[in-house]
Amino acid sequence: MLREVGIAHPRLALPRAGQGDDLVAFQQWLCEAIPLVDHLGLSGMHWQGDTLIWDLRLSPNLNDKGTGFGGSLAAQTTLIGWCWATLWLRTQGRLQDVVVAKANQRFLAPVTGDYRLECAPRDAGGTERLHTRLQTHGKGRIALIQRLYTGATLCLEAESDYAVLPAQAPP
């Protein structure tokens, strides 16, 4: 499906209550909703507890030095956080928009091979606070940490805040 500027992509239907998203179907939808995703080398995603993990290929993200391009890596940390928040909302039965409010990265080592990117709440009470804010105000924020590893080497660490916008009334 060709995307048009200014036209929102149709939302993915919520999973059945008590079931998580089919991450393969979510990834396919993500590639349609955000065309850049199809070019980032994302080869799979899965959950490990409350951590969303992506497996990525280095080849589409190379810089002129033959290592990971910082711009691609920064985009990926922002995107995995957006996915984490969106998928968490979907498990709560909520179709609300998520936007990145603040993001920063620390590049610690060059990325020299295929890698994994992990995303989880910055602190243990983050999801409970977000849930409470959504119940009382219909909107909220959550701070997430993203870590990128090549093998056992931590190459990049990022922190991002994501805002969950108030739900819009159906047309």
Q: What residue ranges do the domains of the chain occupy?
A: 23-164
Nearest to 145 by CA among 98, 95, 85: 85
User: What's the pLDDT at 171?
Assistant: 54
User: What's the pLDDT at 161?
Assistant: 97
Between 29 and 2, whose confidence is greater? 29
Burial 114-124 (b: 16+ CB within 10 A, else e): ebebbbbbeee
CA-to-CA distance for 131 and 113, rounded, in angstroms?
38
- Alpha carbon 139 to chain centroid, angstroms: 18
- Other beta carbons less than 10 A from residue 45's beta carbon: 21
pLDDT digits 0-9 by tens, 68-105 = 999 999 999 999 999 999 999 999 999 999 999 999 99
Collect all residues with Cβ–Cβ distance below 8 Å to 131 and sequence separation of at least 6: 92
Place of tokens 């924020």: 141
pLDDT digits 0-9 by tens, 35-49 = 999 999 999 999 999
Q: Confidence class of residue 14 from pLDDT cuts 50, 70 and 90?
A: confident
Mean pLDDT over 7-36 rounds to 88
Q: At what angle do helices 23-33 and 70-91 cross, to 10 degrees?
A: 120
Q: Over pLDDT 70: what percentage of the chain? A: 97
Strand pairing class (98-107; 140-150): unpaired
CA-to-CA distance for 77 and 52, rounded, in angstroms?
11
CATH match of 23-164 with 3.90.1150.10: no
Q: What is the pTM of this model?
A: 0.94
pLDDT digits 0-9 by tens, 108-154 = 999 999 999 999 999 999 999 999 999 999 999 999 999 999 999 99
**Helix (H, G, I), strand (E, B), or coil: what is residue 162?**
strand
- The phi, psi pair for 28, rounded to 5°, reads -65, -45
User: What's the pLDDT at 110?
Assistant: 98
pLDDT digits 0-9 by tens, 71-80 = 999 999 999 9
Q: What is the mean pLDDT of the chain?
A: 93
